[in-house]
Structure 1
Amino acid sequence: MAATARKLTSREKAAVLMIAVGKNHAAQVYKHLSEEEIATLTLAITTTSKVTQEEKNAVLNEFYETALAQKFISEGGLDYARSVLNKALGEAKANEILGKLTETLQVRPFEYVRKADPSQVVHLVANENPQTVALLLSYLEPAKAASVLSALPGDMQVDVVTRMASMESVIPEYIREVEMIFEQRLAKMGMSDQTSVGGIEAVVNIINNVDRGTEKFILETLDMLDAELSESIKRSMFVFEDITKLSNQAIQTVLKQVEQSDIAIALKGATDEVKNFIMSNLSKRLQEMIKDDLDVMGPMKMRDVEDAQQKIVNAVRTLEESGEIIVSRGDGSDVLL
């Protein structure tokens, strides 16, 4: 007589899913989890007993159906998802899947707006107040939000960033009202608990994606308007002037990833402290070559200098994300024990 299949908890299903997809795919999933979620999931995986092929298949199938339903809901709402799933899987199975989702699945607001290109979004918020713009940008992908933020007037950029950083929760009714207004505008252009949005992390993700000039303007203006907020944001991100906080080994690793011409151009607009730090971590031969480049280099556009500096910053961020270097944040989190 066949053994009765175990009824797995949600945590056990997550563990089985990670085991079933293999370590490479599981590693990609881990990149999107918080430290607490990683700890919880890792514990579940380590305490999971032997999993049968039947259980693996059941979990993978449930995950696929759930992801499929989420996709249909995002594209056209719950009714659209129900209609498509009815045709694909039958009414009974569709009701089962959507029944599980209604309690646990939340469709992120502004889905319709997220499909628009940045220029459309800029036009959409042109006459909106900073609070509404801050709400919308909190829900956009960082790269798209950065494009929109960069296109806003300078004084509004800082106002929006300040409001995003101080935003903690917004009532769902207000979010839905704003969402409906934006959807109607985009259409004309051709195209129960509070919900947590914004915060320092959202601001940092966006500023990390804007160009060097916009980043510099926002942070310098915030220094004057709200020094404490500005410092909180800087602690969570890395800017060009922070180069000197790197260890000699780290900056040497970074500079190997950057073209010699970009290093020379970046130094054109660097402070003496940054310039000396970078030069001291180059080989004697490369130092001489860059000095020669600087001697014959004519006047440079500020934008070109900032772009070169941004390339170095991007190299730092990439190497930090991969774990190849450690960037001091000044909060004690980088202390080695």
Structure 2
Amino acid sequence: MGLQLDICDPAMGGENMRVVELPARLSSQQKAAVIVRLLLSQNVSPALDRLTPEMQADLARALASLGPISRVTLAEVVREFTARLDGLALTTPNTLADAIALLEPHISPTARDGLRAEAEAGDPTDPWTRLAAMETDRLRPLLMSESAEVAAILLSKLGVAKAAALLAGLPEARAQVIAHAVSLTATVTPAMVERIGAHLVEQLDSVSESAFRASPVDRIGAILNSVNGALREALLGGLEARDKGFAIEVRRAIFTFQHIPKRVEPADVPRILRRVDPDVVTRAIAAGIEQAPLSVEFLLENMSKRLAEQIRDDAGSLPTLRPDEGEAAMAEVVTAIRALEEEGEIRLIPPED
């Protein structure tokens, strides 16, 4: 409650007194707790999970110490809070991981990787802080190798968006098992959760970091994408003779002009063609009429009729292309598709088994 003062009312000749209530004196933590309580009373989530465990504990203790809050005190706390918001011109990331996410498109891979390692180190006493800062690609193997119960606890301790991304990237059967395992975690103790977090960090720390970001399959697949078809088939034949399983995976990773109808969504064709020089598109169509007719028809059918007729006419009027010229033009179209996929502008259809 707030303080109360007895004040004489001059209008009544000083004979009557009226009570004036003053706001209670609260610490900064208590004021924060008042705002949180107000937000919760209006069913507004204050995103407390973004605070450190220590800050969350301090907030809970401050909330427990408040007692009843008078209208005057609440009004004063809200007034002070809104005044600070009005004076706020810019917000900055609260954690190094948030800063990396903001800067990632604008910094070099070397700087990004070094900062990620620093962010993952985080608070060495809290394994979950490190796990929360890690990329989904690094965490996903844990969901496959650990028990369903441990995987369920990992998902439960991560943010909703990251947990959803991890679950969506799993095979359907495994995702269903882990989703069900979440229902079995109600009786897990905090001490057990901490031990599990420490175990998961230990597992990841024991895996030496590769010098290459892409897998061997993706690396050789990208190389073979850029060579001519005859050489590509010769190299794949040699791979099959040495390691048939590896060769099969490489074939799945390869994406060429011939794969376009099976791997590209029709609605993405206009976006792809805008990325490629029109003269290159014309040469690719001219070369593809003989080498990949299904791809040519797919591309022409999924652009405007007028543009398709123009490209078909231009391709038909070109002099006969040398094989290397046709290969180069089709490779540029493939390169544009790969670039758009890496930028997240399009999504390729997964290759058939």
TM-score by length of 1: 0.41
Query: Rg: which structure is higher?
Result: 2
TM-score if structure 2 supplies the norm length?
A: 0.39
